[in-house]
Amino acid sequence: MTIVSDMGIRRMEGRPFEDILDGYFPLRESIRQLLQRQGFGAMWITLLHAPFMKIEGLAEDAPVPLHLRKIYSGMIDHMLLLAFSTPDGMGLAGTGDWIFVDSREEHDLFPDSIRLGEPAFVRGVGLINDCDAVDQVNDFAPLAFLAPGAPVPSGDEVRLSAIQYLGWQAGKCFALKAADLGIRRQVGRDVQTLPFGSDHRGTETSWDDWPLPMPEHLRPADWLLVNASPDQVRRQSLEVALRL
């Protein structure tokens, strides 16, 4: 298979990860803290089944009250999000679906100033920086960006060709797509195949059913590849990679 010779491959330093998104803070602030805590320059995360709340009279930048009476105003069904550092803060983009208790508050653009009603589990992939040198101990790159030429190959072709080129034994492949800033409503997709949402081992999915939003500064790239080789040094990263 000669697809790799016609595509640009950029090795990336980063890792799959799992963490807890802080509750009670505005969603945007909770994500910013997570990005900083993990030491990433950019990350993709999936958020599932998270209640949110509005506290009347509480400013967006106000601290969490010591005594908080929870009043849930809705539920996030799912979100696939991209967060990335910028010179003046953080960019946030993605898609998802949600419901407000009060239908008058429904919008197709989710207000990221709304506070999560409780901590939420997230799984995803984070980028630390661009790297050209692979790990000298195990000769592997944790992640890679791929930019195939025309004609565009299928996800199976990309995965099989690229992991052979990179020297991996196995890998996970995700399509990438340019996205505008903001969290936009997207319905009609099978949430069971949502990237990072659940354990997909043995699940038949289409590679581009759920393309990951792609930041401008990391283009051009059409695919993200995650190392899932069983012999890699970072055992925890491998365990999470197998659950992506």
- Closest to 213 (Cα-Cα) out of 232, 196, 227: 196
Q: Which of 163, 116, 181, 168 is nearest to 140 (CA)?
A: 168
pLDDT (mean) for 117-137: 72
Give the contacts of 168 (CB within 8 A, at least 6 positions apart): 140, 227, 228, 229
User: Residue written as tokens 């581009």?
Assistant: 208
Q: What is the pTM of this model?
A: 0.85
pLDDT of residue 139: 47
Report the pLDDT averaged over residues 218-239: 80
Indicate if the pLDDT at residue 150 is higher than 60: no
pLDDT digits 0-9 by tens, 87-114: 888 999 999 999 998 877 778 899 998 8
**Predicted pLDDT at 165:** 80
Q: What is the pLDDT of residue 33?
A: 94
Residue 11 makes CB contacts below 8 A (sequence gap 6+) with: 131, 132, 133, 134, 141, 143, 144, 166
135-150: average pLDDT = 63
Reply yes or no: is the peptide bond before residue 195 cis, omega within 30 of 0. no
Mean pLDDT across the stretch 122-143? 66
How far is it, in rounded angstroms, from Cα 58 to Cα 42?
A: 29
The tens digit of pLDDT for each residue in 51-99 reads: 998 776 766 676 666 665 667 789 999 999 999 998 888 999 999 999 9
